[in-house]
């Protein structure tokens, strides 16, 4: 057993009749607990180096919400508010004090919504690869992935998912390795995995999960500079809907920035959560302070 496994606890829970699980790893340090809410192909044990490097500074909480990982399948009629409620149910059990939250990709919408509903429970919120809503060409591309999965055209489905998430820009770090990893992951999806993907993607398309209220907590939005899914333009627009937000794009990365540049993601997160300056960082664009639509 590793040092991490000896310090971790899995917390089985039920919310609204659906079983799911959280996981807390004791890391100590001076920061409040850091909650990681991952993307559509990510489960609570899959944060790798990001989790490891955060543990020197805080306890880390991860989760398989209903519809994720080993949790129960969640029909698409349940919206983002339900998932935010499930996240809150976990955190009320394991971390009743205010926490720092990282929401990545699909999980960014859940983290954002929970922060809207429970702002008093959030110290700071980091959103990695996010957008306010899915429209136009991107909506058609995502809907196309659903169609291919429904028709059992798995090779085409895999290619579509990879093209949605990964850029072919020559300066993306670890590009070949990350592409092989995602290709293997998607190619190996079981029927149950595909069903959860379909549920979650329909939920993304059908439930915006944002009632327009301005988020009052400090927010940092980031993504890879070459992200073809949640592009820098879309991510900056999401930052502009918060009362006190910052935005930056990480060099040499696309949508899977946490795999391509994990050390940089951790450094950015720790600086932000500690309230340290974010100026002059060599691995990202100059950090913009966005206040309700105005970049400074």
What stretches in the chain show pLDDT beneath 70?
1-6, 208-211, 292-296
- Strand-strand pairing, 99-104 and 18-25: unpaired
Compute CA 206 distance to the chain's CA centroid, rounded to the nearest angstrom: 19
Q: Give the pLDDT score at 1.
A: 37
Q: Are 165 and 253 in contact (CB under 8 A)?
A: no
Instruction: Give the pLDDT confidence of 13-56 residue by residue, as tens digits.
Output: 999 999 999 999 999 899 999 999 998 888 999 999 999 999 99
CATH architecture under which domain 7-131+211-290 falls: 3-Layer(aba) Sandwich (3.40)
Domain ranges of the chain: 7-131+211-290
Say what the alpha-carbon torsion angle 203, 207, 209, 210 is, to the nearest 10 degrees.
150
Q: Give the pLDDT score at 256.
A: 95
Instruction: Give the pLDDT confidence of 45-54 residue by residue, as tens digits.
Output: 999 999 999 9
Nearest residue to 34 (alpha-carbon basis) of 82, 116, 103, 115: 103
Considering the entire predicted model, what is its pTM?
A: 0.94
């Amino acid at each position: 057993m590793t040092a991490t496994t000896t310090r971790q606890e899995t917390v089985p829970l039920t919310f609204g009749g659906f079983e799911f699980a959280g996981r807390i790893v004791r890391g100590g340090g001076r920061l409040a607990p850091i909650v990681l809410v991952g993307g559509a192909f990510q489960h609570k044990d899959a944060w790798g180096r990001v989790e490891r490097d955060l543990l020197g500074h805080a306890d880390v909480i991860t989760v398989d919400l209903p519809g994720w990982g080993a949790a129960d399948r969640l029909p698409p009629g349940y919206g983002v508010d339900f998932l935010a409620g499930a996240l809150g149910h976990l955190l009320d059990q394991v971390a009743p004090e205010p926490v720092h939250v990282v929401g990545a990709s699909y999980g960014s919408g859940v983290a954002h919504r929970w922060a809207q509903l429970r702002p008093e429970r959030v110290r700071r919120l980091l959103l990695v690869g996010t957008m306010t809503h899915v429209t136009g060409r991107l909506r058609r591309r995502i809907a196309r992935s659903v169609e291919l999965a429904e028709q059992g055209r798995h090779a085409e489905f895999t290619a579509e998912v990879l093209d949605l998430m990964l850029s072919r820009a020559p300066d993306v770090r670890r590009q070949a390795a990350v592409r092989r990893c995602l290709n293997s992951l998607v190619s190996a999806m079981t029927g149950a995995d595909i069903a959860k993907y379909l549920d979650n993607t329909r939920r993304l398309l059908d439930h915006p999960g944002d009632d327009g209220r301005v988020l009052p907590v400090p927010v940092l939005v980031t993504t890879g500079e070459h992200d073809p899914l949640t592009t820098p333009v879309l991510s900056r627009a999401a930052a502009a809907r918060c009362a006190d937000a910052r935005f930056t794009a990480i060099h040499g990365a696309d949508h899977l920035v946490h795999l391509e540049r994990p050390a940089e993601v951790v450094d950015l997160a720790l600086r932000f959560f500690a309230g340290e300056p974010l100026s002059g960082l060599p691995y990202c664009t100059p950090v913009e302070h966005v206040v309700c639509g105005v970049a400074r």
